[in-house]
Amino acid sequence: MIAQKEAPPAGPSGGAPQETFVLNLGPQHPAAHGVLRILMTMDGEWITRAEPVIGYIHRMHEKMGENRTWAKFLPNTSRIDYLSAMHYTHAFVGAVERAAKIEVPARAEYIRVITSELNRIASHMVWWGALLSDLGGLTPFLYAFDDRELILDLFEGICGARLTYCYYRFGGLCNDVDDDFLKGARAFVKHMPPRLKMYRDLVTDNIILRKRLTGIGPISADMCRRYGATGPVIRGAGVAYDVRKVEPYSAYPQFDFKIPVYPECDSMARYLVRMDEMEQSLRIVEQALDSLPAGPVMGKVPRVLKLPPGDYSYAVEAARGRFMVRIVSDGKDIPYRVRLRTPSFSNLSLFEEASRGMILPDALAMLGSLDLVIPDIDR
């Protein structure tokens, strides 16, 4: 393990300042997963300062929210974080339902939980493959996409889309699930545990991976709190913060599941949190499938939706952490203000502090362990 170096302002024996250079990582860089740019001031391979520069694919979703009706903004929510589109739609739908006091049938809530958790697994699979390819192991990516494919096929069957689902509607869902989906979901729940075991044997227990992640990129619980980092980042710092437990929503209180927590604060802890989370998600899906109630999947929703004035917020546990939608209504059929609080934004904002004094490959390993989706940061 490498001891972290303090940022050296002056050279040895207080002489001239040590020579540093600026390395522009991105916006097109293989480790940046999209158009993230990091302006690194380097002392050799040591980072003295790393400043993320974001906004390259800023699309101003919040402004789009202000010039269309509530329902018309719904497809946008899938496009913020395209890897956990279900969660994002859930938050917006939840906020509107909360404001308009729409009752959602139990069956719809259960299906929301099933699809959300499957989406979480799919998202974690992408993260896992991408992290490993950041670390130079290209094979796991393909295996991860194999599993993700099964989930995407299931989603395609129920809502027609493979990435930007827009499956949830105010008051329920756009379609009921069919037998194929239920059968497929059950098959997936059976299929996944042996695969996870294989990944553990093949990748997680690999000594090179352990060396790359253990003790690298410490992010303490206090740092998470000050920067608002949530999700697997804060759970990898030993805090069992999960919106599903802290602010229970949808049908989550009905299910028995654990929040995986690792106190080590390093990249490995964040890695293990996500790996364990997939198992827990499978548990939730299984329970929900077993107790799926019958009935309609759509509640009573007024034809023209006008929300009572006021502001309402709704948070969900997305794959990357706490996603919150705050809507402000002035009583019209279009939102007055839509605020999207995205987890990757806060998770990345701590990178500058956390990466100080690290060496480049470690910093990139840490960046991978934060699981960034760039449209989620830029919105």
Partner 1 sequence: MSAIVQNLLGPGWPWVRLLLYLAGIGAFVGANAAYLVLAERKIAGRIQRRPGPNEAGFGGWMQPFADVGKLFAKQMMIPPGTDRLLYCLAPLMVMAPPLICLTVIPYGENLVARNVDVGLLLVFSFGSINVMALMLAGWASRNKFAIISSARVVSQNVAYEIPMLLVVITLLMATGTLNLNEIVGQQGGWFWNWNFFRVWVNPLMPVTFVIFFICMLAETNRAPFDMAEAESELVAGAFTEYGGMGFGVFFMAEYANIVVGCSIATVLFFGGWQSPFVVLSGPVFGPLWFMVKLYALVFTVMWVRWTFPRTQFYNLLNLSWKILIPISLFTLLLTGAMMKLPLLLHHLF
Partner 2 sequence: MSPTIDQICGRFTELLGQAAAAAPQDGAAPAAGPVRRTDHSQKGCDLDVIVSPLQVAAAAEILDREGFGLDAVTGVDWLAQGEMEVVYDYFHPVAPLRVTIRARVPRAEPELPTISAVFPGANWHERETHDFFGIRFLGHPNLTPLLLPEDADYHPLRKDYKP
Q: Where are the alpha helices (DSSP H) in the chain?
A: 61-66, 74-78, 85-100, 106-134, 139-159, 179-199, 207-213, 221-227, 232-235, 243-246, 267-290, 343-349, 351-354, 360-370, 374-378
Coil/strand/helix, residue 220: coil
- Single out the segment in contact with partner 2 by CB under 8 A; choices: 22-30, 136-144, 227-235, 277-285: 227-235
Minimal distance, residue 240 CB to partner 2, in Å: 8
305, 232, 269, 252: which is closest to 72 by C-alpha? 305
Chain CA centroid to CA 187, Å:
25
**Given 42, 161, 196, 328, the residue binding partner 2 (CB under 8 A):** 328
- Candidates 40-48, 58-66, 159-167, 262-270: pick the segment binding partner 2 (CB under 8 A): 58-66
191 binds partner 1 (CB under 8 A): no
Closest CA to 50 of 257, 370, 349, 372: 349
Q: Which is nearer to partner 1, 10 or 138 (CB)?
A: 138
Using CB under 8 A, count the residues that bind partner 2: 43
Q: How far is the CB of 273 from partner 2 (least distance, A)?
A: 15
Q: Strand pairing of 321-329 and 310-318?
A: antiparallel
Q: Does residue 136 touch partner 1 according to CB under 8 A?
A: yes
Torsion of CA 214, 216, 220, 224, to 10 degrees: -110
Cβ 211 to partner 1, closest distance in Å? 5
Among 229, 319, 364, 373, the residue binding partner 1 under the rule CB under 8 A is: 364
**Which of 326, 348, 351, 323 shows the shortest CA–CA distance to 336?**
326
Closest to partner 1 by CB, 281 or 355: 355
The answer to whether 132 contacts partner 1 (rule: CB under 8 A) is yes
Residue choice 60, 138, 142, 208 for contact with partner 2 (CB under 8 A): 60
- Does position 311 interact with partner 2 (CB under 8 A)? The reply is yes
The binder of partner 1 chosen from 10, 60, 142, 163 (CB under 8 A): 142
Tell whether residue 58 is a contact of partner 1 (CB under 8 A).
no
339 touches, from partner 2, partner 1, none (C-beta below 5 to 8 Å by class): partner 2
Q: Closest CB to partner 2 among 77 and 133? A: 77
Q: Which two tokens stand for residue 94?
A: 């939840």
**Residue 216 to residue 346: CA distance in whole angstroms:** 20
**Site of tokens 């996870």:** 196
Token digits for 220? 């303490």
Q: Least distance from C-beta 53 to partner 1, angstroms?
A: 17
Shortest CA distance to 242 belongs to which of 320, 340, 128? 320
In whole angstroms, the minimum distance from the beta carbon of 209 to partner 1 comes to: 5
Distance CA 172, CA 169 (A): 5
Least distance in angstroms from the C-beta of 369 to partner 1:
13
> Shortest Cβ distance from residue 352 to partner 1 (Å)?
19
From CA 90, how far away is CA 34, in angstroms rounded?
25
Contact status: 262 vs partner 2 (CB under 8 A)? no
| Euclidean distance between CA atoms 149 and 342, whole angstroms | 25
* Binding track over 232-251 against partner 2, x by CB under 8 A: --x----x-x----xx----
Q: Give me the residues that bind partner 2 (CB under 8 A), please.
A: 54-55, 58, 60, 62-63, 66, 95, 98, 221, 224-230, 234, 239, 241, 246-247, 310-315, 322, 324, 326, 328, 336-337, 339, 341, 345-346, 349-350, 353, 378-379
